[in-house]
Amino acid sequence: MPTQTIIETQNVFKTYRLGSEVINALSGVDIKIKKGEFVSIVGKSGSGKSTLMHLIGLLDTPTSGSILLNDKDVSRLNQNELSFQRNRSIGFVFQSFNLLQRTSSLDNIILPLKYSQVPKSEWESRALKMLEIVGLSDRKNNKPNELSGGQKQRVAIARALINDPDLILADEPTGNLDSKTGTEIIELFRKLNKSGKTIVIVTHDEELAEVANRKIILKDGKISKTL
């Protein structure tokens, strides 16, 4: 059986206007991410990789072209529809962790479930399972200021997993970590991929990019090569 395509961009352009100047952030980008893949998107600053991440994460819409999520065109959805699809299908991991500072690890992980259709009676058991997966069962009651950088990122990864998304999308997930902790987070992503998770990492970290099974290199808003 052919492998299911999770996310696909078809001739995607993204144009911004700054006064009278027109900036083509992306120019005719075509990518396919299949179920179970581990893909890195790399490129220098200004290459378009952050713009592409926002588009495949349904945080923005293209100027032209199409974005397909599980074969459904989501390019022209309104903000409420995009939010629904994001919550159901995509788990995000950010460089800055984006955790609620006055909230425990457990409650940070539960947060996406509040916007889902999962019964409230299942929230805590799901979150505890995610904490176990990322090796932080003993930190469930700790707030972010009581955690190391690596532990914060593990909580963020657990939160990204909580809705069992089709795609984990990570933006520079080791950017705020020392090299040893970064290596541990890389290994966690590798483990998650081996368990069947589809992962896309946007990064300029060569070590992180090389862990992926496929590397998409962007230059000047276009795909220069795929390795």
Are the CB atoms for 133 and 161 separated by under 8 Å?
yes
pLDDT at 3 over 90: no
Question: Which CA distances in Å does 74 have to 56, 88, 218, 221?
Answer: 10, 13, 23, 21
Q: Coil, strand, or helix at residue 169? A: strand
Mean pLDDT over 185-189 rounds to: 92
Burial class (CB in 10 A: 0-12, 13-18, 19+), 95: middle
Mean pLDDT over 52-64 rounds to: 94
Using pLDDT thresholds of 50, 70 and 90, give the confidence band for residue 208.
confident
Q: Which of 181, 182, 180 is nearest to 205 (CA)?
A: 182
pLDDT of residue 111: 94
Q: For 158-184, what is each residue's pLDDT tens digit? A: 999 999 999 999 999 998 899 899 999
Bridge-partner residues for 218, per DSSP? Answer: 223
Judge if pTM exceeds 0.75: yes
**CA 112 to CA 88: how far, in whole Å?**
9
Find how far residue 80's CA is from the centre of its chain. Answer: 19
**CA 104 to CA 65: how far, in whole Å?**
41
Strands 214-219 and 38-42: parallel
How crowded is residue 162: how many other Cβ atoms within 10 Å of its Cβ?
21
Q: Residue 137: give the domain boundaries.
A: 36-62+77-226
pLDDT at 1 over 80: no
CATH number at residue 113: 3.40.50.300
Q: Is residue 21 part of a domain?
A: no
Strands 38-42 and 222-226: unpaired
**Amino acid (1-letter code) at residue 168:** I
Q: Is residue 70 part of a domain?
A: no
Q: How many domains does the chain have?
A: 1
pLDDT of residue 46: 87
Q: Is residue 17 part of a domain?
A: no
**Length of the chain, please?**
227
pLDDT at 193 over 60: yes
Q: Is residue 54 part of a domain?
A: yes
Burial class (CB in 10 A: 0-12, 13-18, 19+), 29: buried
pLDDT of residue 29: 96
Q: Is residue 8 part of a domain?
A: no
Taking each helix axis as running N to C, give the angle between helix 149-161 and helix 179-194, from 0 to 180 degrees, rounded to the nearest 10. Answer: 20
Q: Which residue has the tokens 């299949």?
A: 34
